[in-house]
């Protein structure tokens, strides 16, 4: 352990030395750190005056934390410069090969560079925040609480890790600074959105919700660090022409993976899909476990907490039942309002969106959508119980008929999406990140086209033509 830390520090120390001797990094950093707090201070003063004149205490109360977040973020933009310079710059200048030829382990190099990428901008970022806080302390404005400041400092740290780890993933995919800079927009744009979201949380006024942002950014950063670590391998860094896209080769690989060794559709279903099932065993277990836990927790929460928020008097229950009764009478015309093909399209679209979200978050956002849906089912059953219906009957009549197909499809799609995310962050010897992604997508497409779409098609037909009839049979008194 000590030897590992020494090796990591050795790499980091050299990087620090290199950076602090480069005026192109140091001068803009110093300017940004020293000038921006003064500009921000003056802007705060003007904003305070404006809001005192026209009112706006809600904004005023959260103005300083917001400016602290922004001030902290600006120097962090240098994480990209530092990280891209440290990784791609070394590749471009050919300085990485002597390092790769040495006995240093891949993880030593990766973590040493990660450390530098995080620490340098973070020191400047915290320095900038400190200057701003000193300046603002002279003004007649509410100073943010220590708790709030601690949260923002943590969030700034999480941003730094997120940006550096993203930049490293990009760096592994590029051999020139130019290519890396072009790819860097994949970091800047999502982080800009993230910052806007966090700003909303700050102005929302509930400090505790910032913990969710910190947790989410930390989780994503952790996955990105793991992704970078799993793909920062000598073999990959030196062995491939990673700046070029060979579409023909990509298509061939995708097709070979998708088709497998099957020669007919029947063979594909009987042999290849079985292989896919075996591969999905573990993610399916995880997804099923999550569904059960979420469903049960949500059901229990609604049953025990909803009465606290809503006073379910017998009159209100009657009102709800009457409303439900009216809805059920309209079930006959459900097919006209929401035709089967539209349900099929919506469900298929959600599956694809879940994959896309899963891709940018290594499965986490896709799983979040899934958890949301399962929570909804649990919540509906809990609500049914509260208004006096059997949750089991509600499930059996209202969800299960089409759910057999739809839930199976959703479980399979989520498991396949989760597997794509897991594959990306798992070291794959002899495979590049792009290759891993391509093959994982081919696996996902197998599940999507071979199982999910047919199941969703059947589910949409059952949902329109069978489920309403079963609901009427189960609840004839409505």
Q: What angle do CA 244, 249, 250 make, to 5 degrees?
A: 80
Q: How many CB atoms lie within 10 A of CB 130?
A: 13
Q: Is 10 in the site for other proteins (CB under 8 A)?
A: yes
Q: Nearest distance from residue 395's CB to other proteins, in Å?
A: 50
From candidates 27, 28, 38, 105, binder to other proteins by CB under 8 A = 105
CA proximity to 143, closest of 68, 194, 208: 68
The 47-86 contact track toward other proteins, x by CB under 8 A, reads: ----------------------------------------
Rounded CA separation 111/372 (Å): 35
Q: Tell me the window of 56-64, 93-101, 288-296, 384-392 that interacts with other proteins (CB under 8 A).
A: 93-101
**Which tokens belong to 348?**
């298929």
Query: Does 2 engage in binding with other proteins (CB under 8 A)?
Result: no
CB under 8 A: which stretch of 216-224, 237-245, 385-393, 440-448 binds other proteins?
Answer: 237-245
CB within 8 Å of 143: residues ≥ 6 apart: 64, 133, 136, 137
CB 268 within 8 A of CB 256: no
Site string for other proteins, 384-423 (x = CB under 8 A): ----------------------------------------
**Tokens representing residue 231 in the block:** 């793909």
> Which of 5, 31, 38, 93 is in the footprint of other proteins by CB under 8 A?
93
Per DSSP, the residues of 31-91 read HHHHHHHHHHHHHHHHHHHHHHHH--HHHHHTHHHHHHHHHHHHHHHHHHHHHHIIIIIHH
Q: Is 322 in the site for other proteins (CB under 8 A)?
A: no
Site string for other proteins, 217-236 (x = CB under 8 A): -----------------xx-
Distance of CA 121 to the CA centre of its chain: 24
- When asked if residue 251 is in the footprint of other proteins (CB under 8 A), the reply is no
When binding is defined by CB under 8 A, the residue of 5, 238, 285, 342 that contacts other proteins is: 238
101 binds other proteins (CB under 8 A): yes
Token pair, residue 232, equals 């920062």
Pick out residues in 166-195 that bind other proteins (CB under 8 A).
none
Instruction: Read off the tokens for 444.
Output: 């996902």
Q: Which of 354, 341, 371 is nearest to 448 (CA)?
A: 354
- Residues in contact with other proteins, counted by CB under 8 A, come to a total of 28
| Residue 243 lies near other proteins (rule: CB under 8 A) | no
Residues 423-462, interacting with other proteins (CB under 8 A)? 430
Could you say whether residue 18 binds other proteins (CB under 8 A)?
A: yes
Q: Is 27 in the site for other proteins (CB under 8 A)?
A: no
Residue among 89 and 375 whose Cβ is closer to other proteins? 89
**Residue 42 or 105: which CB sits closer to other proteins?**
105
Assigned token pair, 405: 């197909």
- 234 to 85, 98, 123, 223: CA distances (angstroms): 18, 11, 30, 21
Number of C-beta neighbours around residue 190 at 10 A: 15
**Contact with other proteins (CB under 8 A): which of 28, 197, 205, 239?**
239
Distance CA 406, CA 340 (A): 13
Residues near other proteins (CB under 8 A) are 10, 14, 17-18, 21-22, 93-105, 234-235, 238-241, 246, 249, 430
């Amino acid at each position: 352990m000590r030897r590992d830390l020494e090796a990591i520090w050795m790499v980091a120390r050299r990087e620090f030395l290199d950076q602090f001797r480069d005026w192109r990094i140091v001068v803009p950093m110093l300017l940004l750190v020293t000038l921006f707090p003064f500009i921000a201070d003056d802007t705060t003063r003007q904003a305070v005056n404006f809001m005192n004149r026209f009112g706006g205490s809600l904004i005023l109360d959260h103005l300083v934390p917001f400016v602290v977040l922004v001030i902290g973020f600006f120097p962090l933009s240098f994480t990209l410069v530092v990280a891209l310079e440290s990784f791609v710059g070394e590749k471009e200048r050919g300085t990485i090969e002597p390092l790769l030829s040495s006995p240093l382990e891949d993880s030593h190099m990766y973590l040493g560079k990660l450390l530098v990428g995080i620490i340098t901008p973070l020191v400047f970022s915290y320095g900038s925040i400190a200057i701003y806080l000193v300046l603002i302390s002279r003004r007649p404005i509410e100073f943010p609480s220590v708790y709030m400041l601690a949260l923002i400092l943590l969030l700034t740290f999480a941003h730094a890790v997120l940006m550096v780890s993203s930049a490293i993933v990009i760096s592994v995919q590029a051999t020139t600074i130019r290519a890396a800079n072009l790819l860097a927009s994949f970091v800047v744009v999502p982080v800009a959105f993230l910052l806007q979201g966090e700003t909303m949380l700050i102005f929302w006024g509930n400090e505790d919700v910032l913990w969710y942002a910190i947790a989410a950014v930390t989780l994503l950063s952790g996955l990105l660090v793991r992704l970078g670590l799993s793909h920062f391998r000598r073999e990959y860094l030196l062995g491939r022409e990673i700046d070029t896209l060979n579409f023909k080769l990509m298509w061939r690989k995708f097709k070979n993976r998708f088709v497998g060794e099957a020669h007919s559709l029947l063979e594909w279903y009987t042999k290849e899909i079985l292989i896919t099932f075996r591969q999905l065993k573990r993610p399916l277990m995880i997804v099923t476990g999550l569904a059960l836990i979420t469903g049960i927790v949500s059901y229990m929460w609604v049953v025990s907490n909803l009465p606290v928020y809503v006073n379910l008097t017998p009159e209100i229950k009657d009102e709800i039942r009457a409303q439900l009764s009216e809805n059920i009478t309209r079930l006959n015309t459900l097919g006209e309002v929401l035709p089967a093909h539209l349900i099929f399209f919506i469900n298929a679209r959600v599956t694809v969106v879940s994959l896309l979200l899963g891709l940018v978050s290594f499965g986490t956002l896709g799983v979040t959508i899934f958890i949301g849906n399962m929570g909804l089912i649990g919540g509906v059953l809990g609500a049914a119980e509260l208004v006096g219906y059997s949750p089991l009957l509600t499930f059996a009549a209202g969800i299960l008929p089409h759910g057999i197909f739809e839930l199976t499809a959703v479980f399979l799609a989520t498991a396949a999406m989760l597997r794509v995310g897991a594959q990306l962050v798992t070291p794959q010897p002899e495979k590049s990140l792009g290759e891993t992604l391509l093959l994982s997508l081919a696996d996902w497409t197998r599940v999507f086209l071979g199982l999910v779409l047919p199941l969703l098609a059947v589910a949409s037909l059952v949902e329109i033509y069978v489920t309403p009839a079963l609901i009427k049979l189960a609840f004839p008194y409505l």
